[in-house]
Amino acid sequence: MNAIGIIFSNIHDFVIPELTRRRAIASIPFGGRYRLIDFELSNMVNSDITKVGVITNYNYQSLMDHIGTGKDWDLARRSGGIKLLPPFITAYDSNKNELMYSSRLELLKGALSFISRSSEEYVVLTDCDRICNMDYQKIVDRHIESRADITIVTHRKKVTEDGIGKEILIDADMLGRIDDISEHTAANDGYYNVSMNIFVMRRMYLLNLVRDSIAHGYKSFYHDIISRNLMHSDYYIYNFDGYTSTVNSLASYFACNMDVLRPEVRSQLFDIPYHPIYTKVRSSAPTKYLDGAKVRNCLIADGCIIEGNVENSIIFRGVHVARGSQIKNSILMQDTIISKDVSLNCVITDKNAVIRDGRVLSGHETMPFYIDKGVIL
């Protein structure tokens, strides 16, 4: 495809501070073996986008470790490939905190040289807070067919309180031309076209927008660009009707993972022909299920040792569940150790957490109990 991809890796970190203290939202573990950025990278590679820029801001060590050279996504290339785009701060900048990017437009200003040096005609912009398996080639084709200036991917759904202040609602006519955009407020009820924060446009059009925003001090992509230009520009939506979910809170992260335990969701994410979801490959021994272990409706990665009972849970690599422990409706990240006779329900453990003998911990699906990275409890 004659397009480059740009991924925003940090832009939604503030919505889930528990999991982004030491990592970007792009590198949050998901589904037993993946990171959130795996879905966007895979969507781009499967759509034949082979030049990708990942805009970073802070906390990107984990992201760098995960992406590496990009070979696991076939992006370790002499021409094109993947590039991390950190903030441009010099030794002469006196107040570096003020120069950290806070909006989508400011992030694009920092990536201006990457965009201007590319030769592809189109650009696909995406965030990293969404789980979906999408063909970007279809969106670019629709964009060209409609002669749109910008195409915004949307998903029609019933809005809930969880999205207040976090979602952009879009009104469009029968042809998909955008009439109005607004932020989700408490007054909104019913079904709306909700922006997925995926944009397609010509590369030169984006360059002109970014340069104009620098000249006028614009910061908000939606309010300063989209809303301001609605009357004299052709902005269209592309409605995506496949499975999609958004990670915009700890509760939504928990729900997204629990969704993957449903066969119909797994088939829409991982069983689409010629559209696999790639991730960093690691060689681990097979998981051991010892005498007395009972497992029901779980996703369990390689390298685990299971001696207790595990039900409706996501278990990442290297987890040890000792004898007598009961794990239900929980997410145990890499190298978590569950000692003997532990009972967990609606619990999320970050990497390298240790739960000692006899602990009983319980949360709720709307407020899961979270244990930070490396904590011994």
CATH of the domain at 328: 2.160.10.10
| Angstrom distance (rounded) from CA 134 to CA 42 | 9
Q: Are residues 244 and 324 both part of a single domain? A: no
Q: Are residues 294 and 251 both part of a single domain? A: no
What DSSP character marks residue 219?
A: -
Q: Are residues 292 and 258 both part of a single domain? A: no
| Angstrom distance (rounded) from CA 40 to CA 106 | 21
The closest alpha carbon to 127, from 251, 246, 240, 261, belongs to 246
Per-residue confidence (pLDDT) for residue 91, from 0 to 100: 47
| Domain-located, residue 279 | no
Q: Are residues 296 and 206 both part of a single domain? A: no
> Residue 170: helix, strand or coil by DSSP?
strand
Q: Are residues 91 and 163 both part of a single domain? A: yes
* pLDDT tens, per residue, the chain with 377 residues: 899 999 999 888 888 999 999 999 999 999 999 999 999 999 999 999 999 999 998 889 999 999 999 999 999 998 899 999 987 655 445 454 544 566 788 889 889 999 999 999 999 999 999 999 999 999 999 999 999 999 999 999 988 777 777 789 999 999 999 999 988 877 777 888 999 999 999 999 999 999 999 898 888 889 898 888 888 899 999 999 999 999 989 999 999 999 999 999 999 999 999 999 999 988 889 999 999 999 999 999 999 999 999 999 999 999 999 999 999 999 999 999 999 999 999 999 999 999 999 999 999 999 999 999 999 99
Q: Are residues 103 and 248 both part of a single domain? A: yes
User: Would you say the C-alpha torsion 204, 207, 211, 216 has a positive or negative sign?
Assistant: positive
Q: Which two tokens stand for residue 102?
A: 């806070």
> Residue 89: helix, strand or coil by DSSP?
coil
Cβ neighbours of residue 271 under 8 Å, at least 6 residues apart? Answer: none
Q: Are residues 242 and 350 both part of a single domain? A: no
Write out the residue range of the structural domain in which residue 331 sits. Answer: 288-371
Per-residue confidence (pLDDT) for residue 220, from 0 to 100: 86
Quote the number of domains for the chain: 2
Q: Are residues 257 and 343 both part of a single domain? A: no
Q: Are residues 112 and 45 both part of a single domain? A: yes
